[in-house]
Structure 1
Amino acid sequence: MHQFLPYAWFHGECVRFEDATLSVATHALHYGTGAFGGMRALPNPSDPGEILLFRADRHARRLSQSARLLLTDLSEETIHHAIRAFLVANQPACPVYLRPFVYTSDLGIAPRLHNIETNFLIYGLELGDYLSPEGVSCRISSWTRQEDRSLPLRGKISGAYITSSLAKTEAVKSGFDEAILMNSRGKVSEASGMNLFIVRDGQLITPGVDQDILEGITRASVIELARAMGLEVIERAVDKSELFVADEVFLSGTAAKVTPVRRVETTDLPLERPVMESLRERLTLITEGRDPAYDHWVTRIRIDS
């Protein structure tokens, strides 16, 4: 049962969550013509009156760019203002997940993006671990990740997540925790809502942006941190067989954070994961505002003023 925050940002102001309602004829509901973001916010462990947001600038930029793919304008400044007002109104006392969403709010029936009304909302819910920090089992999905020539994969377009939904349910109903999607060229792309990394012979390897992945913000952070820690990072095509012989496999995402993969199909992976553990530990320090070298990745919002 989800524990939603009491207020939502809706039509330019904070309203009670239960009052943020949409018509059954809303265009985005029928055609998937929306784009969303996901952000984690947590009270500062050393100052409960302050909320910490991880890489809020990057999240706002990606959502603004996603809106442009829907032929609508949503400035980064508008997003930042709404998030600040939303957090002040809700006064969260535990880690929460924020879902900003730009969508076609028109009530028309034609599938289009021109001459149509759009709107922007934010809601939030309490969220601990989305996936088990001890590790997840993954199956190779029978569903194929879409191509950028059929969907704008540089944005988090809501309609695109039908494939993720099918893959996730297929995985869970067949006894696994997560799905790994291949692209149309038969190479590893990503999980249902996370990017993927493998470690082989001391190298950190991840599918490149040419493999139909979402350009994940946690993914980019992991790559930057790994290089700063002296690890060799390679962005390239990854074959399915590499998943079975890798020294480590892990997933990254805002909800998933950094999560190890303990099994792929019927193959158990090594329990020792030194690269993943070091990266996860460093990211935890950063998100909790305890790493001065990366304090610029953290946005601090006072909610008690």
Structure 2
Amino acid sequence: MHNFLPVAYFEGKFVPFEEANISIATHALHYGTGAFGGLRGIPHPQNSGQILLFRLDRHCQRLSKSARFLNFDLPADKIQSVIVDFIKKNAPTVSFYIRPFVYTSDLGIAPRLHKVEKDFFVYGLELGDYLSPEGVSCRISSWYRQEDRSLPLRGKISGAYITSSLAKTEAVESGFDEAILMNSQGKVSEASGMNVFLVRDGRLITPGFEQDILEGITRDSIIAIAKDLGIPVVERPVDKTELLIADEVFLSGTAAKITPVRQIESYHCSTHRPITDRLRDKLSAITEDADANYRDWVFKVDI
């Protein structure tokens, strides 16, 4: 059971969540012609009158760029303004997740992006841990990550997530928590909705953009934090066998934050995770506005 925030932004105005409904004939519902974002918000641990948002500007910029793939001009500052107003109207008191969504709102039946109406909505729900902070088990999916030459992977296009859904269900129904997808070249790409990191010999390694990954904002943050901490970072192709012998493996994402991997297929990962733990503690402190060096990553909303 989801606890949705009571107010949504829909068709250019704020309405009760229950009234924010689309037609069964909506173009995006049939063709996957939508793009979404996702960001977390938390009440300030020391100031009950403030909500903290992690890297709001980057999330708005990415959604604005994703909208371009739909032939939709939606400025990042417009998205940010709506999200800030959305938080003020809901005044949440617990950790929550925001889902802004751009989509083809037309009721036509032609699969196209020109001469089709578009719109933008925002809703939210209370959200604690998306994955177990103690660690997850993963299987290598039989489904492969799409290629950028056939689908714009630099955007969070809704239609692309059929592959993620297939991989996640396959993993869970075969006894695992999460799936890791390979790309068409047989290299590690990403999890069902998260980026993948591994540690070998003190170096932090992650697949690069050329491996058909989503340009994750949490991923970008972890790379920056690691470099500031003096941890060597390498972005390059990763083989499946590297995951099986890595010193540490973890997943990253807005919902997942930093989640350790404790098992891949029948291989058990080490429970000694000094770099994962160090990065996770640092990221947690930053998102709670407890690290002065990263204050510009935290957007504060007074409620």
Name the counterpart of 1:63: 63
Name the counterpart of 1:76: 76
Q: After TM superposition, give the deviation of residue 14 of structure 1 in Å.
A: 1.1
Alpha-carbon distance in structure 2 between the residues aligned to 1:116 and 1:146? 26
Contact in 2 for aligned 1:137/1:265 (Cα 8 Å)? yes
TM-score w.r.t. the length of structure 1 is: 0.99
| Gap runs ≥5 in structure 1 | none
Q: After TM superposition, give the deviation of residue 48 of structure 1 in Å.
A: 1.1
Name the counterpart of 2:204: 204
Name the counterpart of 2:213: 213
Name the counterpart of 2:174: 174
Alignment of 1:150-161 (within 5 A): 150-161=150-161
Contact in 2 for aligned 1:14/1:85 (Cα 8 Å)? no
One-letter amino acid of the counterpart of residue 251, structure 1 = L
| Gap runs ≥5 in structure 2 | none
Q: After TM superposition, give the deviation of residue 232 of structure 1 in Å.
A: 0.4
3-state SS of paired residue (1:125): strand
3-state SS of paired residue (1:42): strand
Alignment of 1:14-33 (within 5 A): 14-33=14-33
Alpha-carbon distance in structure 2 between the residues aligned to 1:70 and 1:234? 33
3-state SS of paired residue (1:48): coil
Contact in 2 for aligned 1:101/1:122 (Cα 8 Å)? yes
Alpha-carbon distance in structure 2 between the residues aligned to 1:5 and 1:185? 42
Name the counterpart of 2:263: 263
Alpha-carbon distance in structure 1 between the residues aligned to 2:192 and 2:253? 10
Q: Which runs of 4+ in 1 moved over 6 A?
A: none
Alpha-carbon distance in structure 2 between the residues aligned to 1:194 and 1:48? 31
Cα deviations across residues 233-284 of structure 1 (Å, max 9, x unaligned)? Answer: 0000000000110000000000000000000000000000000000000000
TM-score w.r.t. the length of structure 2 is: 1.00
3-state SS of paired residue (2:25): coil
Name the counterpart of 1:249: 249
Alignment of 1:216-295 (within 5 A): 216-295=216-295
Alpha-carbon distance in structure 2 between the residues aligned to 1:33 and 1:65? 14
Alpha-carbon distance in structure 2 between the residues aligned to 1:244 and 1:54? 32
Q: After TM superposition, give the deviation of residue 13 of structure 1 in Å.
A: 1.6
3-state SS of paired residue (2:189): strand
Alpha-carbon distance in structure 2 between the residues aligned to 1:90 and 1:96? 11
One-letter amino acid of the counterpart of residue 31, structure 1 = Y
Q: Report sequence identity in percent.
A: 67
Name the counterpart of 2:97: 97
Q: After TM superposition, give the deviation of residue 70 of structure 1 in Å.
A: 0.8
One-letter amino acid of the counterpart of residue 87, structure 1 = I
CA RMSD of superposed structures (Å): 0.4
Name the counterpart of 1:191: 191
3-state SS of paired residue (2:109): coil
Is structure 2 residue 85 aligned with structure 1 residue 85? yes
Contact in 2 for aligned 1:153/1:213 (Cα 8 Å)? yes
